[in-house]
Amino acid sequence: MLGTMQEWPLLAHKILDHAAAQHPNRPVVSRSVEGPIHRTTYGAMHLRARKVAQGLEAHGIKLGDRIGTLAWNTWRHMEVWYGLLGLGAIYHTVNPRLFPDQVAWIINDAEDRLLFIDLTFVPLIEGIMDKLPTVEQVIVLTDAEHMPKDTKLRGAVAYEDWIAARDGNFTWHEFPENTAAGMCYTSGTTGNPKGVVYSHRSNVLHAFQAAMPDMLNLSARDTVMPVVPLFHANGWSLAFSAPMTGAALVMPGAKLDGASIHELLETEKVTITAAVPTVWLMLLQHLEKTFGRISTLKRVIIGGAACPRAVTQAFQETYGVEVAHAWGMTEMSPLGTICSPKPETAGLTGDARLDLQQKQGFPPFGVEMKIVDDEDKTLPCDGKIFGRLKVRGPAVAAAYFKGEGASNFDADGWFDTGDVATIDGYGYMQITDRAKDVIKSGGEWISSIDLENLAIGHPDVAEAAVIGIVHPKWDERPLLIVVAKPGRDPSREDILNFMAGKIAKWWMPDDVVFVEGIPHTATGKIQKTTLRDQFKHYRFET
């Protein structure tokens, strides 16, 4: 027997319909790429998104066509997403921080028909225009006044001119909820990047999951600033979960430095924000230097890489902002877990609370997790034994675009995250390492993440990375690579003494090297592959 309820396909653009109906005047504030602060509302964006859909349709864009965006978080970028969704075309966020050849590779693999790009990325696309045969036209997300002159961009047109001729009188198209909605490539530290294709249904279900109290905890009373770019892992759902709840949005545009982020947090009275740890390290250093305060922010979501304990402590104890440590990946839409309190842990204070917050937390309904050994046998959840983390759920990828990377998916529907983790008796998961970054010393594993997080707690350390160096006796031993804070000059011994006693003796790094800077990936994570390459001839003195 079937239920007697209505068929109402979970289509992602209905989220903007809802925001425009229920929260039409809620502000969407952006730092425009041209400079000035721009203010609009969900109601106004709803109209302009339909103008985008009209423009796309006039161009001949159809169901299933891929359209690339190389853009910062602004109202225009979000309008383009929704215009594409309402037509059944696919937003394909391209990470503009990748090398030009990788950008070209990804656009060609996706066969993008149009590109919507910010002014910032005009030179990048001009440089590879000849290598992009599928791209019919480039629409620059600006107005006529700011359009570059004599550009080599194919069919270049200013976005504001491109939609000006449309009236917005457009009815969204109808199609099944499993229709592809968006696309995002994983950064591909090994081999070529792999495309993840989200569906309307997975984006809508994921937005419900993300908005829940123990996840991002969004409501119509919040003002949310996604510092995490829309091109990083589906923008952590915020372009969907914020309008779904009616939360106001603050979009930081191209300026993600400490001073610019601090300014927006304060002037726009942000209550919730989200980004990778490197962004928060920059903000905290700015606050320390300027004796800045944070007045309205309640909650900062930190994920994409392990959040150092010192960052959590500074936010909570110095600035009175609650930290929510999150874990996820592009393949998971991306949210997997968030470290929120359960009744059993809610009473923790001081160090015990910080210890808990080093964990990445527990999943929402709709994400199943398990850890397994090398024979794929499920391991116990005792918080000590670690194994490969596998996940499944309605917003987890079942395959990559064009069938790449099939070995990551089990026959019984589990996706192998490539992460190594523990799960404790309360269900809190903690990432030990990426399987390929873990340091194998004498048959045991050392977590590079734990060592990095400890080292960064030293007051003179700006950033730290740990890699394994081949060792004649132990296979590998940890090397600690440190960037000192400006004007500070810590010694090797200062740092090792600071770490001693806080970890098992055999985890202690065999040496410390000081460098000017640590390389980052296009999503702001420490680039271990480059570091390993840089130090491939390094040997410990024995």
**Which residues are near ligand ADP by CB under 6 A?**
186-187, 233, 303-306, 325-330, 334, 360, 417-419, 431, 434, 523, 525
186 is catalytic: yes
Q: How far apart are CB 19 and ligand ADP at their closest, in Å? A: 26
Distance CA 263, CA 277 (A): 19
Rg value, the chain, Cα: 23
- Helical (H) or strand (E) element with 102: helix 100-110
Instruction: Assess whether 506 carries a catalytic annotation.
Output: no
First vs last C-alpha separation in the chain? 73
CA 358 to chain centre: 18
Minimum CB distance to ligand ADP, residue 428 (Å): 12
465: closest CA among 383, 535, 415, 413?
535
- Residue closer to ligand ADP by CB (options 32, 337) is 337
Q: How far is the CB of 263 from ligand ADP (least distance, A)?
A: 27
Query: How many separate helices (H) and strands (E) can be counted in the chain?
Result: 15, 24
CB closer to ligand ADP out of 419 and 463: 419
Q: How far apart are CA 50 and CA 306, in angstroms?
A: 39
The helix, strand and coil proportions of the chain, stated in percent and rounded to the nearest 5, come to: 30, 25, 45
Nearer to ligand ADP, 88 or 304 (CB): 304
Cα–Cα dist 406/135, whole Å: 28
Least separation in angstroms between residue 339's CB and ligand ADP is 9
Query: Least distance (Å) from ligand ADP to the CB of residue 13?
Result: 25
Phi, psi of 466 (to 5 degrees): -125, 130
Q: Spot the catalytic one: 186, 271, 330, 521.
A: 186
Q: How far is the CB of 408 from ligand ADP (least distance, A)?
A: 11
What is the DSSP pairing of strand 322-328 with strand 299-303? Answer: parallel
Rounded to a whole number of angstroms, the minimum distance from the CB of residue 336 to ligand ADP is 8
- Give the nearest distance from C-beta 327 to ligand ADP in angstroms: 4
**Closer CB to ligand ADP, 118 or 331, in the complex:** 331
Give the nearest residue (CB) to ligand ADP. Answer: 187
Q: Could you write out the DSSP letters of every residue in 262-304?
A: HHHHHHTT--EEEE-HHHHHHHHHHHHHHT----S--EEEEES
With respect to ligand ADP, which residue has the nearer C-beta, 332 or 469? 332
Comparing CB distances to ligand ADP, the nearer of 40 and 234 is 234
* Annotation says 331 is catalytic: yes
* Shortest spacing between CB 396 and ligand ADP, in angstroms: 12
- DSSP lists the bridge partners of residue 180 as 199
Non-local CB neighbours of 45 within 8 Å, separated by 6+ positions = 16, 20, 28, 75, 78, 79, 82
| Active-site annotation holder among 331, 452, 463, 476 | 331
Q: Residue 334, preceding bond cis, omega within 30 degrees?
A: yes
CB nearer to ligand ADP: pick between 88 and 193: 193
> From CA 378, how far away is CA 235, in angstroms rounded?
32
Q: Is the dihedral of CA 239, 242, 245, 249 positive or negative?
A: negative
181 in the Ramachandran plot: left (φ > 0), alpha (ψ -120 to 50) or beta?
alpha
For 488, phi and psi rounded to 5 degrees? -110, 155
CB 103 within 8 A of CB 94: yes
Q: Cα-flanking dihedrals φ and ψ of residue 280, to 5°?
A: -75, -30
SS3 call for 326: strand
- The tokens describing 58, both together, are 């006039």
Q: Is the CB of 264 or the CB of 301 nearer to ligand ADP?
A: 301
In total, the chain counts a number of residues equal to 542
CA distance 30 to 227: 11
* CA distances, 451 to each of 404, 454, 472, 480 (Å): 34, 5, 22, 8
If the CB atoms of residues 329 and 482 are measured against ligand ADP, the closer one turns out to be: 329
Q: Is 440 a catalytic residue?
A: yes
Catalytic residue among 404, 445, 529, 530: 445
Considering the complex, state which of residue 327 and residue 409 has its C-beta at the smaller distance from ligand ADP.
Answer: 327
Contacts of 491 by beta carbon, 8 Å cutoff, 6+ apart: none
CB of 419 to ligand ADP, least distance (A): 5
- Which member of 189, 440, 485, 530 is catalytic? 440
List, by residue number, the catalytic residues: 186, 331, 440, 445
